[in-house]
Structure 1
Amino acid sequence: MTANATLCLATVEFLSKHAPFDTMRAEDLTFIAKRLALAYYPEGHIVLEPEMGAPAYFYIVQRGAIRVDGATSGPSQDTHALLEEGECFPIGAASGDRPTVNRYTAAEDTFCYQLASADFHRLLQQSSEFNRFCTAYLATLLGQTHLNMQQSFQQKALEQQGMAASLSRLIRREPITCPPDTSLAEAFTAMHAARAGSMVITEAGVPIGILTQSDLLPRVLLPNTPLDTPISQVMTPSPFTLSEHATAYDATLAMATRGIRHVLAVDGAGRLRGVISERDLFAMQRVGLRELRQRIEHATDLANLVQAGQDLRQLSYNLLAQGLGPEQLTQFVSAMNDCIVRQVIALTLPKHDLHDIQWCWLAFGSEGREEQTFSTDQDNGLVYLSERPDDEIKPTLLAFAAEVVAGLDQCGFPLCQGHIMASNPDLTLSLEAWQRKFSHWISSPDPKALLAATIFFDLRPLAGDESLAQRLTKHLLQHVSSNTMFQHMLAGNALSSHVPLGLVRDFVTETHQGQSGWLDLKKSGARLFVDPARVLALAHGVAATNTLSRLEQAAPKSGIHPDVLHAMLDAFRFIQLLRLRLQQEPHTEKSRANLLRVDELNPLERRMLKESLQQARRLQSHLKTRYSL
C-alpha cells in the first residue's frame, strides 16, 4: 500500500468517529480524504475572521482547539465557544460563500484539515447526509434565536401563562355529559349540581351537540319549551372540537374566528376529554378577547370599532410579550382585523340596495395571506354577479365600497397609496370581468404590469358570497399551472428583489432621512420569501395564500428537501418576528414601520438575520434553477 493510500485510510478512520462523517457513505468519505490538506496553527493564530472575506476552506479540527469569538448565546453578550477534535467550521459562511461573522483563533497549538471551497460545495451536492447536517445546523441556530427573542418578550409577562399550553393542561375537571334523549329538566338539574355552564351531548363518548347557559333564554325560556323535551331538540349540533394536543392559541383563534365560546377537546378517537371555555382562556391569559370580540360584533357605530381596533393592538402586544410566535400572531391579527372589516360592512350594508346582487368582499396582499402585522393599509376589492347590466348596478356597488373603505380608514386601516381598494372602479368588477383580467395577465404578461398585479394573486374572501372568490381562485390556478411562460415571468419578477447581503460587508443597507444603515424588513426581507412562495404555489395548483402554507404544500412538489424547507420556514418566521418587535415599539413612526437599524441588533440577532437572508437566497436559487433564470 502506498503512503498516500495509508494516509487516506487514516483520514477516513478519523472522520468516521465524528458527526456527520460517521453517517456518510464510504465513497463520500474517500472523496473527502483524498482532498483534505493538514495545516498547523500555533496558539493565538487567527485562522479565519470577517475581514478575510469568503472562506477559501472548510475546516475540521484534527488536534487541538479553536476559539470562536462572538458565536453563541444571548443578547448583547461577548460570547465565545471552543471547537475541539472532529468539529467543523465555518458551516454557515462556507455554505453561503460569504465572510464569516466570527473570529476563529487557535486556542493552543492546533492542526486542522482543510477542504477547498469548491470541494465543499461538491460534497454538499453528492452527500445527502452532509447536506442535511449543514442545513440542520442553520435551522437550529434560527430556532435558537427565535426562542431567545420570545424569552425576552416573555419577561414582560412573567405572570401570564403561555399560549403554547396544550388543551389537555387546561382541563380542570371532567366534562358534564348526557345522552341525546335526556330531558331538559334532567340536564338542567345536572348542570346546576355541577355548577357547569354547559352540557355536552355524547354518543359512545363522542360529542354530537352542546347546550350552554347562553342558549337557555332564546331556545328554552322565551319559546316556553317544555322541560320534558329531549335535549337533542334544542342543542347546538356538531360542536367545534380540537385535539387535546392543540394549543391554547388554537382555541383562542377558533373562538375569535368562529364567534363561539366553548371548544371541546377530544382524543385521537374523537372522544370527549374536556370543555375549554372563554373564561378558562381569560383566566390563563388575562386578556380581554371576549369583551373585544363582543364590542366588535355588537358595535353600532364606527366610534366603537375605532376603540376596538386600538384595543386589538394592545391585546396583540400582550400576546407578543407572552412569546406567541410570529405565524400565530399574524394570523390572530388578521383574524381580528377580518372581524372589524365584516362589522364595518355590516353597518354599511343597510344603507345600500344590494338585495339582487351576489357580491363578495375580497382581501388582497398581506390580509389575503393572513400575514398582517401591526402596521398595515387597505388592499381590497369586490367581485359580483347580477342579471342587471353593469351600468345599473356598478354605481350602487361603488358607493357601497367607498363608504366601507372610508369606514375602514377611520378604524385604523389607512387608504392604500396605490388605490388597491374596492372604491376603485377597476377593482369592483363582475366575476367575468375579474376572470378576463386574470386571463389577460396570464396569457399576455407585461413585466411591469405583472409586478403590480401579483398582490391580486393573494386573494381571500372576507364577506358576502364566498363561492365567487372560490371560482376566481379556481380560474387563476387552472390557467397558471398550464402556462409555463407566465410562471417564468412571475419567477423573474420574484427575483427582482435582491437579497441585501454584500460580498465584503455583512448587509447592503439603505439610507432613510439622511441616515445610512437601514434595512427594510418588508421589501428586503419578508418579500424575498413571499414572492417565490407565490410562484411555486400557483405553478403547482396550491390554493393556499399564506406564505408558510404555500411553501409547505408546494416544496415537496418542487423537489425542495424537507430539511431545507424547515430552514426556510424558520428564516421567514424570524424575519416576521423582527418586524413585529420593531412595530410594537412605541416610538416607531409609521414611515419606519419596517425599517431596522442593523447596528441595533445584538450579535446573535445579527448573525441570525444573515442566516435568514441566506435561506432567502437559497429559495431564490431554487427558483433560478427551476426556471433557468
Structure 2
Amino acid sequence: MNPAPHTHATIEAALASHRVWSQLDEATLQQLAPQWTLQACDVGSTLLPQGQLHSRTGLVVAGAVDLHDPDLDMAVHLQPGDMFGFGATPAQHLTTWQATAAADSHIAWLDAETIAALCRDHGALAYYFPSVSMSPAPSAAAATAQAPGGSGMHLNLLGTPVRALVKREPITLPPDASIRAAAQQMRELRVSSVLLVQQGHLFGLVTDRDLRNRVVAEGLDIDRSVADIATLAPLTLQAQSPAFDALLLMARHNIHHLPVMDGARIVGMITATDLAEQHSTSAVYLAGDVYKQTTVEGLARTAAKVRPLQQHLAAADASAYSTGHIVTAITDALTTRLIHLAEAQLGPAPVDYVWVAAGSQARSEQTAKSDQDNCLVLDDRYDEAAHGEYFRAFSRFVCDGLAACGYIHCPGEIMAMTDKWRQPRHRWAEYFRQWVDKPDPMALMLTCVFFDLRAIHGKTELLESLRHEVLQRTRGNSLFLALMVGNALKHRPPLGLFGTITRIRGGENAGTIDLKHNGIVPIVDLARIYALAGGLAAVNTHDRLEQSSRSGEVSPQSARDLREALEFLSRLRIAHQARQMAQSQAPDNFLALEELSNFERSHLKEAFSVVQTLQGVLGQRYQAGRY
C-alpha cells in the first residue's frame, strides 16, 4: 500500500458529501479533515488483518473493499461511501473479519480514539457507529503497535492461515527456461521471485537476490538454464498452517520467500513483505540483520534490539506462546551466526556435531531476561587428542559471543564450553542412562535441564537418535518418575492456607512474588513429567501438555487449565518486564501485587490453585504406586 497525496480538500469534499459526516457543521468538518489519512491501496492489499478491525475506522473514498471472515467464509462488499472498522462494523465481527482492497482504492483512515470522542460529543453521530460503546478504543501503546508503518507489531498470526496472505496465483517457469526469461517475467509481473515447476511438482525457487548475487555479481551467461541459479527443494509451508509458522520459518532460516502448498499442489508464494502488512516482521528483519553481521561486536549491537522487541510484543498484546517463540528465534539466529563466525575463524569442524540448546531456549520460552544453557553432542569419531583443542576453542568462541550479546554465562556452567557438556554421543547416552537408572539429587537436577533439548545447528540426527533412546528408557519407569515428581514438588505456588497469596518475606525482593520459580517452573515441571512418562518427544511446555492430554497422561480439562494458567502467568511476567525496561530497569521475575488490578489478582489465585491441585494429583498418583 502506498500513501496517496494527502490533501485536506479531498478529505473535506468526501466528508461534506457523505450521508453521515455531512451532518456535522462546517467548522467541525474543517477541524476534522486534517486528522484523516488518505491512502492509495492496490487491489488485493490487506487493509486490516483478521482481529484488527477495532484498531481504526476506514472510509471507502474510491474503489471497493471486501470484508471477509476466513473461518466462516462470510463476506461483505463495500462501495465508495461505506465505512468499516472501529464503530462501523458490528461488534460481533470486529475480531473475526478482515478487510481487503477489492480494487485499486483510496481509503481514508481515522483513529479509533477520535471516532470515540466524536460520538461522545455528537450524540446523533453515535447512531451510525453502533459498536463504539461495545469496542473500547485501544490504548496509545496498542495503537502505536497496530498502526500501519508503526514500530510495533500486530501478532494475530496464530489465527490467520497462510492461505489468507497469498495474493495471486503462483508465478511459475519450467526449470529449463533461461535466466533471461525468468528476469523478464519477474519484471513484467512486478514480482520478486518465480517458482520452477515441472509436471506440476515444485522443483526450485529463484528470487531477485539470486539474480543479483548469482548472475550479475558472477557475470553469469543469462541464456543459461534458470535451474543453475535456483534454490532447489526450497522450504515450504502448508496453506492451512498459521501465518505465525511462516514468521518463525523465515526468522530461523533467514529467508524472505516461502512457497505455500496445499498437499503437493502449489498455492502461491508469500514474502516477508506480505507479513509486513500484518505488522509482524520485525522478528524476520531482526534475524536478517543478525546474519549480516561479521563480528561479535556487530551481533551484540543487533542483540540489543531484543528487549525493545519484547516491549513491542507486549504492547501489541501478543500471546506469551508467540512471544516466547519469537524471542527464542532471535536467540537461535544469534547462536547460529556465532557458529558460522567460529567456523570462519577456526576452519570447518573435524567431525560432525550438533549444537544443542537446553532450558528455556530449547522450549522456545525465552524472555528478554535469559542466561545461556547449551551443550555440544559430537560424533562418536571424536578423538580428544586430535579434535579436543578445536572444539574447546569453538565452544568458547560461541559461549563468549552469546555472553557479549547479553546471554550471561550459566551460573551452573551448563554450557558447551564446559568440558563435561561437550562430549561424543556415546558419552551422552551413558550420562542419561546413569541419570535415569540412578536418580540421585544431582541427577534429578540435571534431568530438568537436559531433558529439555533442541538442536540449533549441525547434524540433528545425533540428538534425535539420543532423544529416542532416552524416552524409551523413561517411559513407565516407576522409580525414576516418582523421584522426578518428588523433586518437582519442591517448587510450590505461593498460596497460604486460606488461598491467600504469600509474598517473599525478606531480602531485596521482599513483598513480591517470584513468577518464574513459584508460578511458571511448576507448570514446566509437570509438563516434563507427563512427557517423560508417556515417552513424548515435544519440548515446548504448551505442546507437551497438548500431547499429554491426547496420550492420556493428563485429562484434557486439566491440560487445558494448565495451558491457560501458563499463558496467564507468562503474560504477567512479560508485561512486568516490559514495564521495567520502559523505565530503564533491568528485567526480573519478581512481581509486586500492587502492579495488578483486583481482576488480575483473582486470576492469579486461580492459576496458582490449578497448579497446586494438579501437583497434588500427581503426588498422590505416584505415592499410590500407579507406575
* Aligned residue in 2 for 1:254: 249
Determine the C-alpha separation between the residues in 1 that align with 2:231 and 2:344.
29
Distance 1:435 1:269, change over 3 A: closer
Residues 518, 352 of structure 1: alpha-carbon distance in 2 compared, 3 angstrom cutoff: same
Q: Equivalent residue of 2:502, what SS?
A: coil
* Partner-residue secondary structure (3-state), 1:360: strand
**How has the CA–CA distance of structure 1 residues 317 and 175 changed in structure 2, closer, same or farther, with 3 Å as cutoff?**
farther
Mapped pair 1:520 → 2:514 = yes
Relative to structure 2, which stretch is displaced further, 511-520 or 302-311? 511-520
The one-letter code sitting in structure 1 at the alignment partner of 2:514 is D
Counterpart Cα distance in 1 of 2:584 and 2:483: 36
> Partner residue of 1:154?
142
TM-score (norm 2): 0.70
Aligned to 2:560: 566
Could you report, residue by residue, the CA deviation over 1:461-505 in whole angstroms, capped at 9, with x for unpaired residues?
222332222232223212212522111111111122112222225
In structure 1, the residue matched to 2:526 is 532
- Aligned CA distance change for structure 1 residues 353 and 227 (closer, same or farther; 3 Å): closer
Matched-pair contact (CA < 8 Å) for 1:184–1:227 = yes
2:530–2:554 CA contact under 8 A, matched in 1: no
1:282 alignment partner, one of 268, 276, 280: 276
Residues in 2 aligned to 1:248 and 1:388: alpha-carbon distance in whole angstroms: 41
Q: 1:219 to 1:371 in 2, by over 3 A?
A: same
Q: How many Å apart are 1:219 and its aligned residue?
A: 4.2
Aligned partner of 1:596: which letter?
L
CA separation of 1:168/1:351 partners in 2, compared to 1, >3 Å: closer, same or farther?
A: closer
**3-state SS of the aligned residue for 1:511?**
coil
Q: What is the CA distance between 1:174 and its match in structure 2?
A: 4.0
Q: State the partner residue of 1:422.
A: 416
Partner of 2:343: 349
1:300 corresponds in structure 2 to 294
Q: What's the counterpart of residue 211 of structure 1?
A: 206
TM-score (norm 1): 0.70
* In structure 2, distance between residues paired with 1:457 and 1:151: 41
| C-alpha distance in 2 between matches for 1:327 and 1:516 | 29
Change (3 A) 1:495 1:440: same
Q: Is contact 1:536-1:558 (8 Å) kept?
A: no
> Structure 2 counterpart of 1:328, which letter?
S
Determine if the alignment matches structure 1 residue 615 to structure 2 residue 605: no
Instruction: Report which stretch shifted further, 404-413 or 467-476.
Output: 467-476
Map 1:311-322 onto structure 2 (within 5 A). Answer: 311-322=305-316
2:121 matched to which residue of 1? Answer: none
Report what 1:385 is aligned to. 379
- Partner SS state of residue 375, structure 1: coil
Q: Aligned partners of 2:187, 2:582: CA distance in 1, in Å?
A: 51
Change in CA separation of 1:416 and 1:588 when aligned onto 2, cut-off 3 Å: farther
Tell me: CA distance 1:225–1:307, structure 2 relative to 1, closer, same or farther (3 Å): closer
| Alpha-carbon separation, structure 1, partners of 2:359 and 2:584 | 22
Deviation readout 1:438-459 (Å, 9 max, x if unpaired): 1111111113441244211112
Alpha-carbon distance in 2 for matches of 1:353, 1:213: 31
Query: For residues 502 and 615 of structure 1, do their structure 2 counterparts lie closer, same or farther at Cα, with a shift above 3 Å needed?
Result: same
- Counterparts of 2:374 and 2:203, CA distance in 1: 38
- How many aligned residue pairs are there? 482
Change in CA separation of 1:156 and 1:520 when aligned onto 2, cut-off 3 Å: farther
User: For 1:176, which of 147, 171, 194 is the aligned residue?
Assistant: 171
- The residue aligned with 1:495 is 489
Q: Deviations over 1:332-383 (max 9, x none)?
A: 1111101111212222234446642332222111111111111000111222
1:19 is matched with none
Q: How does 1:438-453 map to 2 (within 5 A)?
A: 438-453=432-447
How big is each residue's C-alpha offset from its partner over 1:140-159, in whole Å with a ceiling of 9 and x where there is no partner? xxxxxxx99x9896344241
* Separation in 2, partners of 1:152, 1:428: 49
Q: Deviation string for 1:279-320 (max 9, x for gaps)?
A: 232344175445433331121111110111012332332233
Q: Aligned partner of 2:498: which letter?
A: V
1:549 aligns with 2:537: no
Q: 1:156 to 1:324 in 2, by over 3 A?
A: same
- 1:24-73: per-residue Cα shift (whole Å, max 9, x none)? xxxxxxxxxxxxxxxxxxxxxxxxxxxxxxxxxxxxxxxxxxxxxxxxxx
Range moving further from structure 2, 310-319 or 164-173: 164-173
Give the 5 Å matches for 1:161-240. Answer: 162-165=154-157, 166=160, 167-202=162-197, 207-221=202-216, 227=222, 229-232=224-227, 234-240=229-235
Which residue in the other structure is 2:623 paired with?
Answer: 628
- Which residue does 1:412 correspond to in 2? 406
Taking structure 1 as reference, are residues 590 and 627 closer, same or farther at Cα in structure 2, changes over 3 Å only?
farther
State the one-letter code of the partner of 1:164: N
Distance 1:198 1:591 in 2: 43
Deviates more, 1:201-210 or 1:323-332: 201-210
Q: Is it true that 1:455 corresponds to 2:449 in the alignment?
A: yes
Q: 1:142 maps to which residue? A: none
Partners of 1:358 and 1:464 within 8 A in 2: yes
Instruction: In structure 1, give the amino acid aligned to 2:156.
Output: A
Amino acid in structure 2 at the alignment position of 1:159: A
| In 2, Cα distance between equivalents of 1:286 and 1:551 | 27
- Higher-helix-fraction structure: 1
Distance 1:296 1:622, change over 3 A: same
Tell me the residue number matched to 2:591: 596
Distance in 1 (CA, whole Å) between partners of 2:287 and 2:464 is 27
Partner of 1:332: 326
Q: Which has the larger radius of gyration?
A: 1
CA-CA distance at 1:593 after TM superposition: 0.7
Give the 3 Å change call, closer, same or farther, for CA 502–169 of structure 1 in structure 2.
same
Moved more, 491-500 or 398-407: 398-407
Q: Is this contact kept in 1: 2:512–2:591, CA < 8 A?
A: yes
Gaps of 5+ in 2: 1-134
CA distance in structure 2 between the aligned counterparts of 1:463 and 1:588, rounded to whole angstroms: 36
Structure 1 distance, partners of 2:519, 2:467, is: 27
